[in-house]
Amino acid sequence: MALSYQRIIVKIGSNVLTQEDGLPDGGRIQHLVDQIASLKKEGKEVIVVSSGAVAAGRSLVSVSDKADAVSNRQLLAAVGQVKLLATYAELFRAHELVCAQVLVTKEDFRDRQHYLHMQNCFRALLQNNIIPVVNENDVISVTELMFTDNDELAGLVASMLDADALLILSNVDGIFDGDPKAPGAQLIPVIEPTTTSFSGFVTTQRSQFGRGGMITKCHMAHKVAQLGIAVHIANGKTQNILPRILSEEVVNTKFIPNKTASRKKKWLAHAETAAKGAVQINAGAKVALTTPGKATSLLPVGVLGIIGTFEKGDIIRLLDEGSKPIGIGIAEYGSDKALERLGLQNQKPLVHYDYLFLNSEIS
């Protein structure tokens, strides 16, 4: 029985798009574009998150080994992104399809206004039958501004657009219960929402040309699945991999989606690094907030202390009495007013339920 996904994020990894020498694999890129075009003809919406800009840059210019590694990466990305998008544009044009470039940084997802502007752009592209090709803006993304890898970026885009599925194309068939190259290693076809740890069986080895590894893929995929989006990790080098995933005719690992979260909470789920301060809450407030099936806001009566300073609209972290993080939310007022109302009853919520995301929602 075919999977009925309508809005699909396709993340294409560096090792899928490159040859063994690190240069782009033109034949494979064309084959992937042909598959995406076929999905479009079926009426599906497809958003592509593509690595490969640095690899494309390597095919055009040579950089000095003596130069700074960050500067080399910026140079290769700046040159290569032009070639990468030109390649996609030419190949999609053969199918009478138009694609668009969307370059983003982590900061674009931290700022709510940037986030909404970006979301509106994606919606306009999809409404006009244009295929967004998304990549990190490596020219300005350095150190703390960088995504862990494009898997993280793909997860953020999937959450932002309420996608039905995220298809992560890697250079392995899926998640194995050990080193995929080891004798006897078995592919795990399904990972349930109740899975809590991957470190016992997933290798920490990173891909040759990418920044991330299978552990980061697992944690990101699990988080996205907990937000109600199905995630598949499959081998992008397999012939006709995309239609075969959708028709369930190829081996891959599927992360079963949990409940569907609101759009605001999907943003908050990935916004912890943007927190400006924190509040420590008492045991009673923790129980009230984390009780399943009960929508509860954080009231000042349950707050023990304020850590740092924040303004109305800032993201703040929620800590229990032992300083363990239990969630994040958007402050309804600043830290000065929060201090004035500390422990008081009959006060306006410091964090309204609609703008509160608890760790228990992805555990």
Annotated binding site: 11, 51, 138, 150
Q: Which residues are annotated as a binding site for ATP?
A: 11
Give the 3-state secondary structure percentages of the chain, helix then strand then coil, rounded to 5.
40, 20, 40
Enter the tokens of residue 327.
């969630």
Give, as one character, the DSSP assignment of residue 302: G
359: helix, coil or strand?
helix
Enter the tokens of residue 106.
């982590």
Sequence length of the chain is 363
268-301 burial, b if ≥16 CB within 10 A, otherwise e?
bbbbeebbbbbbbbbeebbebbbeeeeebbbbbb
| Secondary element (H or E) of residue 110 | helix 106-110
Using an 8 Å Cβ cutoff, are 27 and 183 in contact? no
Beta pairing class for 165-170 and 230-235: parallel
What residue has token string 């970026």? 153
Q: Which residues are annotated as a binding site for substrate?
A: 51, 138, 150
